[in-house]
A and B are shown apart, each in its own frame.
Chain A
């Protein structure tokens, strides 16, 4: 039952994180504008925390959530569940595809890096991985977007937009880049660690080829490491997703989340707020649930993948 305990711990942690997030999102966003002088209208801006309003916000939100079982509405009156249903599936497809691409490619690159360590090819190996891991995701996206538009705009399946069935391909590829190199690094580090183990030396001594030992024994034990890093990979994909959806106008959950947050850098007196706290929480809830799911999968898989020589 140690596993069940661990899973429950994780659930409680993520519930706490969700609650903290709800508490930040519902802080009232009204501010006071005070004009001093009589002849010139000079504005002085002040923010005072309105605790009463804050309590109200939280009370009504949780009452609605628990009693009516819904997540509220967006600013036009559409239920949040509909908004989620419209935007999230696009992101889910991208996330899932990015996972599918990055893991196998990452592991292969990791193996390549390890085997190329002391050869002249090391530059293509670990140094290249190191370099790619230093690149900011927004830099990669800006470059790739520009290259595609300038030089190869004729590849239909890599076009921008979100309406076609193939629209998920380009965002998935972009979201998979950093995670793939991350997995490559942990794979090659894990293999290097295994190499020192006695059973490897024994096997090599018995006459098995390096390749056989690698795939039959080392990779099997590295599985555990790979499972442990599933949540970290997921976090990187989500982080990339925020930037990708924003820069490419890919209207998925992260995009909708950002626009519901409506971080505005200008305002007019009397303008209506476009801030949609229910949508923010709804989208965040979906993403937090996805991360929780991946954490659970990772914990379950590592639990059953006992190390064996």
Chain B
């Protein structure tokens, strides 16, 4: 069954599908790019108020304010993926150098990495993320978005760094590294010109799997209404509330909790979109792993 790298092909297929949705989404038929709200439908004596159940007009149903959920999800693909990629890239920009620098398993970088990984591995990532993202100085910070992405990246950066460290250490034990050392290059040059190319396939695989983990974390935070990009808006003389700045899937999940019984589509379809994407990332990661291990012999 695994003979012709089913994982890779399925992963590429699903990922391509998501990319098409992301790029062509607003232009597809049936998608409302303006996201109009229909607060009431009146047909003769028949009056309907949102949320509307799935129908021909609303293939995925509508949200509580009458917006078509399918359009919301399609348009939210781009926002969601941009966040996920940016956070994962930040995570790897921190973790890979740290892991390489710590590869001798001694020295300050090793202690930083070990401490960081141990502290964050002691609690579930969701737990740490909730505590960090609900900290008060984040709430009114004008750079909230940057901070939120950075903190989410940090939560599992220790774990990734640890894996890189283990793998770099394994490389350093190989005999050809002694030859490389005799070249007299600076350690950083050795890491980046000799270790990194060897580690690159595994880093790529880990990257895709981490895309899935980040999306999962964002989704979980969304369920608790803890979002990444928000802004305070004044709603009255002495009231204010947080509003979401974009349409990423996690923000749609915030309405899931009260609606599972009566309006189950409100939570189901965003969750399904997230599940589909995580599955695509995992398939791609696993497929690439099989591809690299088959082609490196």
CB within 8 Å of B: which residues of A?
A: 13-14, 16-17, 20-21, 24-25, 27-29, 31, 41-43, 45-47, 49, 120, 122-123, 127, 130-131, 133-139, 142-143, 145-146, 149-150, 235-236, 238-239, 242-243, 246-247, 258, 261, 263, 265-270, 287-288, 291
B219 lies within 8 A of chain A by Cβ:
yes
Cβ of A171 to closest chain B Cβ, rounded Å: 15
Known: A142-B268, A242-B126. 19 other contacts (CB 8 A): A14-B122, A24-B131, A27-B137, A45-B240, A122-B1, A127-B1, A130-B282, A134-B212, A134-B278, A134-B279, A135-B279, A137-B220, A138-B220, A138-B223, A138-B253, A138-B256, A145-B260, A149-B261, A235-B123
B146 lies within 8 A of chain A by Cβ:
no
Q: Can you list the 3 inter-chain pairs with the closest CB atoms, starting with the nearest?
A: A269-B238, A266-B241, A239-B124
Q: Mark B274-297, 1 if CB is under 8 A from A, else 0.
A: 110011001000100000000000
CB within 8 Å of A: which residues of B?
A: 1-2, 118-119, 122-127, 130-132, 134-137, 139-141, 212, 216, 219-220, 223-226, 232, 234-235, 237-242, 253, 256-257, 260-261, 264, 267-268, 271-272, 274-275, 278-279, 282, 286
Residues of A within 8 A of B275 (CB): 134-136, 139
Residues of A within 8 A of B124 (CB): 235-236, 238-239, 242
A238: nearest residue on chain B (CB-CB)?
B124
A143: contacting residue among B268, B282, B286, CB under 8 A: B268
Residues of A within 8 A of B118 (CB): 13
In the bound complex, do residue B122 and residue A139 qualify as a contact, i.e. CB atoms below 8 Å apart?
no
Q: State the majority secondary structure of interface residues on B.
A: helix
Residues of B within 8 A of A47 (CB): 136-137, 139-141
Residues of A within 8 A of B260 (CB): 142, 145-146, 149, 247
A268: contacting residue among B135, B136, B220, B239, CB under 8 A: B239
B275: nearest residue on chain A (CB-CB)?
A139
Cβ of B232 to closest chain A Cβ, rounded Å: 6
Q: Assuming the A-B contacts A143-B268, A268-B239, A270-B238, are A31 and B139 also in contact, with contact meaning beta carbons closer than 8 angstroms in the complex? A: yes
Identify the interface centre among A45, A49, A136: most chain B CB within 10 Å of its CB: A136
Q: Give A46 to B139 CA distance when docked, in angstroms.
A: 9
In the bound complex, do residue B282 and residue A238 qualify as a contact, i.e. CB atoms below 8 Å apart?
no
Residues of B within 8 A of A43 (CB): 234, 238, 240
In the bound complex, do residue A267 and residue B240 qualify as a contact, i.e. CB atoms below 8 Å apart?
yes
Residues of B within 8 A of A246 (CB): 223-224, 257
Cβ of A231 to closest chain B Cβ, rounded Å: 8
Residues of B within 8 A of A14 (CB): 122
